[in-house]
Structure 1
Amino acid sequence: MTTETTNIFGIRAIIEAIESGSTINKVYLQKGLRGNLYYELDKLIKQNKIATSTVPVEKLNRLSKNSNHQGAVAQISPVEFYDLEKLIESTLDKGETPLFLLLDQLSDVRNFGAIIRTAECTGVNGIIIQKNGSAPVNAETIKTSAGAAFKMPICKVDHIKDALFLLQASEIKTVAATEKTEDSIFDIDFKQPIAIVMGSEHRGVNPSILKMVDYKAKLPLLGEIASLNVSVACGAFLYETVRQRLQ
């Protein structure tokens, strides 16, 4: 595997990459594209729920280094993603006490990379992200993770709710990190099979997700600032888990 995100360009090349099963982070499209080949690409993008962005031609020129991009450039992920159901099964088969981490539309690649690094250091069995609206696993993510992205299983799901249903069906409790609760992180039993949900940088955990989780917990804040950086908060939750499990 390479630590550099690969860009491919040209509508036909991107179609072939999708059809071959390549893991694509995002497709950048020039505004106003038309034609049968474009409509074929658009159909595949929607079927596979690939994130897209409409950008000026200048950005496409930069991404393709001024090659003939035909109005479309795709970023292929430098890591392969895991199937969540199989990952849960393999974790349980090993007799381990599951510890999973769900990131509810975290968008900053540096935060993502830092979280991956901490997760690898604390024995997390897998990180779960949503296909759309999540930070990509790109070169900067991998650099910030200090290479942990190659060691940490990462799963992509259509929606975080899908993952919650699957985890709960596997008797893995779910806890959301949120200030919208009276319960402290120290009130939660992290020794049991558990999955921790961290929210996005700006809005936290989605309210619809908060309604689904088994527990909600907050960190005590003794200063005047009302919140922590998400990667720092995630580290606190993970190390409280480690502390309890080492007792």
Structure 2
Amino acid sequence: MQEKIKKNNSKVKLKNEENKTYERNKKNKKSYNLKVNNVAEVSRNKENSQVEEREDIVIGRNAVIEALKGEGTIETLYISNGNLEGSIKTIVGLAKEKRVIIREVDRRKLDSMCNGEVHQGVIAKITPYKYSQVSDILELAEKRGESPFIVILDEVEDPHNLGSIIRTAELFGVHGIIIPKRRSASVTSTVYKSSVGAVEHVKIAKVTNLNAIIEELKESGIWVYGADIRAEEYSYQVDFSGPCALIIGNEGRGISKLTVQKCDKLIKIPMVGKINSLNASVAGGIMMYEVLKGRLK
């Protein structure tokens, strides 16, 4: 009997030891996973902080061609070794006409310059983009004998959206784009590429106080429209033939509350689908088309 009790006690003791070991391993595993996750998070944050958008390079063949055709200063043209086929020949020809320094480099050099973005074998090092003044935009409209058509971007932060909006603006006859200095994408290599070089043909003003500029535009006789889903009037119902400024809001938040109050009128795009919002660049494109269509009548 005593031997049986002893045996049972041994089993209980062994079971307790197994439970302790299990709990200890579980705790250690949890601690290890937490540590690994923290290291991974730190690594991601570090990587994100190191990858900054450069404003002194243009990447991609079409963007570089437009940069060479434009008035900006190109300091050096970098092309991949032996990559002289297709449009690269055009790029080299334009660079020679402008007496731009051409350097053939290893493809890995190009990769490192643009943080691994697709460069198509060519990168142009430029003098950082020179922003215009709002007065330059108004002068351009006057020079063309047209009513001012301005696009105002209220904290559009995605450089791809900014690039797409610039490209559309150039096609639809916008005289200039106004962006805020804070919480907004700037003209970088990604914007150059996304705009397919249209950056070289559109005046862009970067301002400190967006709402103060809106007030100045209104005082000069420009009607300010805000693209907002809460509007009661549709874009196709509006007469855009006079001087106008069109405000496109942030990708997630839309137009800020204070800026909405500055608008003369809010307008919206008709939609019948289940998703009630559009990408900022798509919405901007539809609105800009409406303005152009109204002016062609």
TM-score, with length taken from structure 1: 0.68
Q: 1:204 aligns with which of 254, 259, 265?
A: 254
CA distance, structure 2, for counterparts of residue 241 and residue 123 of structure 1? 9
Structure number with bigger Rg: 2
Which one has a larger percent helix, Structure 1 or Structure 2? 2
Instruction: Point out where structure 1 has 5 or more consecutive residues left out of the alignment.
Output: 8-61, 66-75
Do residues 136 (structure 1) and 186 (structure 2) align?
A: yes
Match in the other structure for 2:171: 121
Point out the more displaced range, 181-190 or 170-179: 181-190
Give the letter aligned to residue 192 of structure 1: G
Do residues 166 (structure 1) and 216 (structure 2) align?
A: yes
Q: 1:221 aligns with which of 264, 271, 276?
A: 271
The aligned length equals 179
Do residues 234 (structure 1) and 284 (structure 2) align?
A: yes
* Secondary structure of the corresponding residue to residue 235 of structure 1: helix
Q: 2:129 aligns with which of 79, 89, 94?
A: 79
Give the letter aligned to residue 158 of structure 2: D
CA distance, structure 2, for counterparts of residue 95 and residue 166 of structure 1? 21
CA distance, structure 1, for counterparts of residue 285 and residue 223 of structure 2? 19
Give the letter aligned to residue 184 of structure 1: Y
Match in the other structure for 1:17: none
Match in the other structure for 2:237: 187
Shift of 1:95: 2.2
The CA RMSD measured in Å over matched residues stands at 2.0
The alignment-based identity, stated in percent, is: 35
Match in the other structure for 1:105: 155
Give the letter aligned to residue 289 of structure 2: Y
Give the letter aligned to residue 210 of structure 1: V
Shift of 1:242: 1.2
Shift of 1:77: 7.2
Instruction: Point out where structure 2 has 5 or more consecutive residues left out of the alignment.
Output: 1-53, 58-111, 116-125
* Secondary structure of the corresponding residue to residue 283 of structure 2: helix
Shift of 1:162: 1.9
Q: Which runs of 4+ in 1 moved over 2 A?
A: 4-7, 89-95
TM-score, with length taken from structure 2: 0.57
